[in-house]
Amino acid sequence: AVQEGGFPLAMIVHWSLMSGEARPVAKAGAPRGSETGVLPPTRMDHLGQGVIESAILSGKAAVTDDIENDALMLPCRETAMQLGLRSLICVPIPRKGRVDFAFALYSHELAFFNEREVRLIEEVAANISYALGRLDEESGRKAAEEALRNSEERYRQLVEQSPVGMYVHTDGIVRYMNA
């Protein structure tokens, strides 16, 4: 998004239901270390839901058309203005039936994220969600294979170290014996 799309800042944010806090887990663009200064607030009870919390809880994109004049952006307004950030979209990324991650994308333009842009960014988030799902499946498959190998090894050791003689045969042919 930053290199190809020219956006000044893009982040994948993890939102913890337990703590109610969000933290960037990946980012591109903007000066190093600035991501915490421009991170949209996750919870501002006196002003309503924050941008990330809104996107995650609703399961829908949350857009801030004017960072400078949006009350939800007050805690990070100064840093955002210094970086020239004017608008923001935050799109939830479902994973394993839950939404703990969001894709946050900033623009230098006011009200940049129109309906067409929102659809495109939702597609990006859907692609990220699909890729994460495939990675989860692959990790699960590898873990199951490892568990099977461990189980087979334990069974093999049990049989080979048993003081009782055991053998396996097929049609009268001995295939295995623990001599």
Task: Quote the Cα angle for 58-61-64, to 5°.
Answer: 115
Query: Can you tell me the distance from the alpha carbon of 65 to that of 171, in angstroms, rounded to the nearest whole number?
Result: 77
- Which helix (H) or strand (E) is 146 found in, with range? helix 115-160
pLDDT of the chain along its 179 residues, tens only? 776 777 888 888 887 777 777 778 888 886 655 555 565 555 444 334 577 778 888 889 999 999 899 887 877 788 888 888 999 999 999 888 888 888 989 999 999 999 999 999 999 999 989 998 899 899 999 999 999 999 999 988 888 888 888 888 999 899 888 87
Burial 125-145 (b: 16+ CB within 10 A, else e): beebbeeeeeeeeeeeeeeee
pTM exceeding 0.85: no
